[in-house]
Structure 1
């Protein structure tokens, strides 16, 4: 398996595959309380079969070039979070990044660094024009990452997202390829 370094602190970005379902489930059990407050990922990975199903869905998305899923590891071993292309539309040049992290790994910049790698690849390798970030307006940590990535706030969809019986406002953030290239000095 390959891994992309996220810096000199032993953090790496690597693909997650179906055979790693047990590891994903153990990670999600550690992350569940934090992740479940914002997105249905934790609720959809509750046992080995559901972990396999999620990983299989993303394997199929990758094969169809419509999505990808990567894990964030510390010291090449411990899975502590992930990033994904929830939507990847090469024809239109638009994609959406999603992220999550378990509590013990917060505050290290892992999500920001992993998202930067995904955006670099999407823009520079795949020629994507627009990269979106969608978050509950109440998820201030996620919105702070979008800001650190140099994204612009496109708007708010009021009470459009029903999660755990509560309606959330959703903020849409994005960065366009010319903006990303200018940020990186390319």
Structure 2
């Protein structure tokens, strides 16, 4: 197993796998209300069996080269994650998603972790387009897309039904050549 440092603050990015279902469920229980503000992940992960099933679904996606799931640990505690929700090497496109417990907000963890995923997608896997999809009401997620240098390409009005209410989705993206150009300026 590998761990990638996210900086000098004790944060690490690691694969999140089925054998970690208990830790994942404990994390989801700590952050359930906050994480569930904009995404359905806490509704999907309700108990140990569903936590294990969710992690297994991403292990299966990784085996099929269709997605990947990584946890963000801070001082040894799982506090959030990033993922390739969609990963399509044939088309050269992927979509990154994220979540974070409230206690870990404001440290730049998601931005740093997502940047590592984009670096890998562009440099190692040759991805051409990296997308970020967020609820139009999820300002922190949209701010991450902005910090990553992504451009807002669309607003899909009332795209998805979540907890009885229709929500708009914003589509943000960065192309590989733009990512590389911005990275050389940093």
Q: Normalised by the shorter chain, which TM-score bucket?
A: over 0.9
CA RMSD of aligned residues (A): 0.8
**TM-score under structure 2 normalisation?**
0.98
Residue 97 (structure 1) aligns with: 96
Q: Which residue of 1 aligns with 2:3?
A: 3
Secondary structure at 1:73 match in 2: strand
1:38 aligns with 2:38: yes
Shift of 1:160: 1.0
| Paired position in structure 1 for 2:19 | 19
Matches within 5 A, 1:79-98: 79-98=78-97
- Partners of 2:139 and 2:183 in 1: how far apart? 25
Shift of residue 101 of structure 1?
Answer: 0.2
Following the alignment from structure 1 to structure 2, what is the Cα–Cα distance between the partners of residues 141 and 2?
28
Q: What is the CA–CA distance in structure 2 between the aligned matches of 1:46 and 1:182, rounded to whole Å?
A: 42
Q: Determine the C-alpha separation between the residues in 2 that align with 1:146 and 1:161.
A: 20
The aligned counterpart of 1:139 is 138
* 1:127 aligned counterpart, secondary structure: coil
Which stretches of structure 1, 4 residues or longer, exceed 2 Å deviation after superposition? none
- Which residue does the alignment assign to 1:173? 172
Counterpart CA distance in 2 for 1:180 and 1:98 is 17
Any idea what the Cα deviations from partners look like across 1:62-95, whole Å, max 9, x if unmatched?
00000000000012x1000000000000000000
* CA apart distance, 1:102: 0.2
Shift of 1:36: 1.0
Stretches of structure 2 that go unaligned for 5 or more consecutive residues are none
Distance in 1 separating the partners of 2:129 and 2:30: 33
Structure 1 runs not aligned, ≥5 long: none
TM (norm. structure 1) is 0.98
Deviations 1:143-177 (A, max 9, x none): 00000000000010001111000110100000000
Counterpart position of 1:115: 114
Determine helix, strand or coil for the equivalent of 2:7. coil
1:71-86 maps to which residues of 2 (within 5 A)?
Answer: 71-75=71-75, 77-86=76-85
Q: Does 1:48 align with 2:54?
A: no
State the partner residue of 1:69. 69
